[in-house]
Amino acid sequence: MSCVIAGDYIFLAHHGGGHDKDDIIHQMRKTFESMENTLASIDATLNDVVQINLYLGDIKDFRLTADVFKEYFKNGSPAI
């Protein structure tokens, strides 16, 4: 399992994805799909996420990643 449950908290381990392409949008979508799968395995969803640590190789990609966040977090992004 790629997470640890501690009381009322769920801690996800690293969930990178999509490294088969050099495309930040593809990588972000694959990462969020992986997170969704892990969370679903413990009856949770992305709506339960309160913080994400995002590491970018190029700060110019930030706007693109913010747009992908909006696809997966309809009620506003968690703290980044």
Q: Which residue has the tokens 């990462």?
A: 31
What is the structure's pLDDT at 80? 65
What is the structure's pLDDT at 18? 87
Is the Cβ–Cβ distance between 65 and 53 less than 8 Å? Answer: no
Is the Cβ–Cβ distance between 42 and 58 less than 8 Å? Answer: no
What is the structure's pLDDT at 1? 64
**pLDDT per residue as tens, the chain (80 positions):** 689 999 999 999 888 888 899 999 999 999 999 999 999 999 999 999 988 988 899 999 999 999 999 999 887 778 66
